[in-house]
Amino acid sequence: MSENLVNYRVLARKYRPQTMNELVGQELLVKTLTQAIDANRLPHAFVLHGIRGVGKTTTARILAKALNCQGVDGQGGPTANPCGVCSSCVSVTEDRHLDVIEMDAASRTGVDDIREVTESARYKAVNGRYKIFIIDEVHMLSKSAFNALLKTLEEPPPHVKFIFATTELKKIPETVLSRCMKFDLARITPTILFDYFKTICAKEQATIEDEALALLVRAADGSARDGLSLLDQAISLSQSHVTTDIVRDMLGVVDRGRMFTLLNLLMEGKIAEVIAEVRDLYARGSEPTVLLHDLLDLVYWVTSLKINASLLTDVTWPESDRREGGELASKLSMPILMRVWQVLSKGYEEVVRSPLPNQAVEMVLIRLAYLSDLPSAEDLLKLTSGSGGATGGSISSFRGAASASSPLASTTFNPINKSTLTQTVSASPIVHPMPATFQDVLKIVAQSREPLLYSNLMQDIHLVSFSIGKIVLRLGDKAPSTLPTQLQNLLQQQTGQQWDIDIVSEGGAATVVEQNRQQMQQSEQSALNHPLIQEMMTQFPGLTAKIERQETIH
């Protein structure tokens, strides 16, 4: 057998960091540990917490090496930069140091296992400066085992250090955590992983397309080990020339381009084309839940681009995702994306429970295609209130956020009659007629969707005088000081005219809410004084008349 085959090591082990400086994406951890070692302020117990593959066990071994390093001349002390050549460093690297004991708590969970640790801790180190116990997946220890560890953990001998690693910090008892210094290892960012994997490819003399590398970075999900395992597999499959198609096939993901096509068809309301595309994906092996999962992920991506345009230049995302996602983000409004997300999320739950998942997916997408042709609640309100800006009240359809020439804006849909709904909303702001009374002002504020300002005007101000273009008010105790400016700007925007809002310290009528309450009380009293009510109370002594009141602020 070839010696190269016998000695082959997977990338995750071959490029395992051996010093603090080699740790990937953990700058804060490295800085903290370095300063603690240099200042000789080291605790007797550490907890390293983070997701799988970010370097918990690796950090524990580097820390063990740093604490026991003897230096090149054999006279060194604890250092943040171990020499790597002394007998202690070499022994730790080769996993054979007598004073660095590793224990897997996933397979050794009981009291007897911990008793061995506590008994061993009583004896001094043989070759090293410290006797170091590295307990991986420490959260798997039983309650009794944790209790057995407490006394030794609280008052360990000066020559003992404990290093715990865990992915589930909440499962460790507080009594243990309170006796340790905790370090959180961050999920490694896509940018750092992208550069790191590219460096590894260069060392392995392998070429990889940027889009393929971006797919591996996303699949790694912040884990260097997971990403290196995938990269190792991709290099093996591709004979050192990794292409995007190879990575897609390896990961078993549906071509993202087809997902973009499907989402575009949905937004255009082309049901027949949607069903044909979905059934072709079924034929190629796509699972119903995976299909909806991919669509949800795509909608999230487009929404992210809508919020943060800088992602368009982020090379850690595939170039095709950035290009096609940017096009969709420019066409779809945020309310549309939120509606699509809600329908798909609800539909995903239905498909998971359905006895006919293939048919359920199609029904969910048909529902979404029909919804894509409906106007928003805001547009319907404008239409019914006659404030749409055009004769008869024009509103935008579900796809009205796109330009009039785009497919998303021009596609008509048979199931509903939308002869008036496909007109494009004017880009200019709606201008209200000049209000003749303060009540007209309140209507403008209400229609402008300014609930807080409307509430303040109803409950917290006293009208002194009103004339067209000028309002004099006295502010109540709870009225914000910014109210005059807010009202002035809103009226100028909605009427197109200059307004003056003056504030005085005295006078003014009761608030609108108080006036409404007074009118209600007067109406109630008038109703009680009605001859018919009075006659009934005479005919039935002891009868009490009560009027049910439902107060509103308008």
Distance CA 89, CA 82 (A): 7
**Torsion sign (Cα): 201, 211, 340, 403:** positive
Band (pLDDT 50/70/90 cuts) for residue 334 is confident
Note the pLDDT tens digit of each residue in 260-315: 889 988 888 888 899 998 998 888 778 888 889 889 999 999 999 989 888 888 88
Enumerate residues 6+ apart whose C-beta is below 8 A from 326.
305, 312
Beta strand pairing status for 100-104 and 45-49? Answer: unpaired
Structure tokens at 224: 């260097």
- More reliable by pLDDT, 2 or 514: 514
Q: Which residue has the tokens 């560890």?
A: 149
**Which residues are within 8 A (CB) of 77 and not within 5 positions of it... i.e. 6 or more apart?**
69, 71, 129
Between strands 131-136 and 100-104, the pairing is: parallel
- Encoding tokens for residue 90? 């070499």
- Rounded Cα gap, residues 409 and 400, in angstroms: 6
Query: Rounded to an integer, what distance in angstroms lies between the CA atom of residue 358 and that of residue 251?
Result: 22
Residue span(s) of the chain under CATH 1.20.272.10 come to 256-371
Instruction: Please give the DSSP secondary-structure letter assigned to residue 213.
Output: H
Which residue in this structure is represented by tokens 């999230």?
300
How far is Cα 355 from Cα 366, in angstroms, rounded to an integer?
18
> 261 in the Ramachandran plot: left (φ > 0), alpha (ψ -120 to 50) or beta?
alpha
User: Are 404 and 419 spatial neighbours (Cβ–Cβ below 8 Å)?
Assistant: no
pLDDT band at residue 414 under the 50/70/90 scheme:
very low
Provide the residue type at 390 as one letter: A
Residue intervals of the chain classified under CATH 3.40.50.300 are 4-184
Residue 401's pLDDT is what? 37
Residue keyed to tokens 């795509």: 298
| Class in CATH terms, 190-251 | mainly alpha
pLDDT the model gives residue 481: 84
Q: How far apart are CA 166 and CA 172, in angstroms?
A: 9
Residue 22 pLDDT greater than 60, yes or no? yes
Instruction: Please name the residue that has the structure tokens 């550490």.
Output: 46
Percent share of the chain, pLDDT over 90: 19
Query: Which of the four pLDDT bands, split at 50, 70 and 90, describes residue 74?
Result: confident
Phi, psi of 290 (to 5 degrees): -65, -40
Query: Lowest-pLDDT range, 246-255, 337-346, 406-415?
Result: 406-415
CB 106 within 8 A of CB 113: no
Amino acid 385: pLDDT: 53
Question: In whole angstroms, what is the distance from residue 399 CA to residue 65 CA?
Answer: 61
Burial of 548 from C-beta contacts in 10 A (0-12 / 13-18 / 19+): exposed
Please write the tens of the pLDDT for every residue from 515-533. Answer: 888 888 777 777 777 777 7
**Residue 244, phi-psi category: left (phi > 0), alpha (psi -120 to 50), beta (remainder):** alpha
Distance CA 371, CA 266 (A): 9
pTM across the whole model: 0.58
* Strand 461-467 to 241-242 pairing: unpaired
Look up residue 535 and give its amino acid: E
Task: Note the pLDDT of residue 345.
Answer: 92
What pLDDT score does 369 carry? Answer: 83
pLDDT of residue 134: 93
> Per-residue confidence at 165, pLDDT binned at 50, 70, 90?
very high
Strands 207-208 and 241-242: parallel
Q: How many helices (H) and strands (E) does the chain have?
A: 25, 10
Instruction: Report which of residues 54 and 2 the model is more confident about.
Output: 54
Could you give the residue range(s) of every CATH 3.30.300 domain in the chain?
438-509
> Which of the residue ranges 46-55, 390-399, 445-454, 537-546 would you say has the lowest mean pLDDT?
390-399
Task: Specify the CATH number for 4-184; select among 3.20.20.70, 3.40.228.10, 3.40.50.300, 3.30.70.270.
Answer: 3.40.50.300
Residue 413 pLDDT > 70 = no
What is the β-pairing status of strands 207-208 and 181-184? unpaired
Q: pLDDT tens, 368-378?
A: 887 755 555 55
CB of 471 closer than 8 Å to CB of 499: yes
Helix intervals (H) in 390-477: 407-410, 438-447, 451-459
Domain 438-509 coded CATH 1.25.40: no
Distances (CA, A) of 301 to 237, 318, 337, 341, 397: 29, 12, 10, 11, 23
Residue 505: its pLDDT value, please?
86
List of residues 6+ apart from 316 with CB closer than 8 A: 190, 191, 193, 194, 214, 217, 218
| Rounded mean pLDDT, 530-545 | 66
Average pLDDT over the chain reads 81
Single-letter code of the amino acid located at 140: M
Parts of the chain belonging to CATH 1.10.8.60: 190-251
pLDDT of residue 312: 87
**Ranges assigned E (strand) in 80-169:** 100-104, 131-136, 160-166
Nearest to 132 by CA among 107, 166, 165, 176: 165
Task: State the CATH architecture for 256-371.
Answer: Up-down Bundle (1.20)
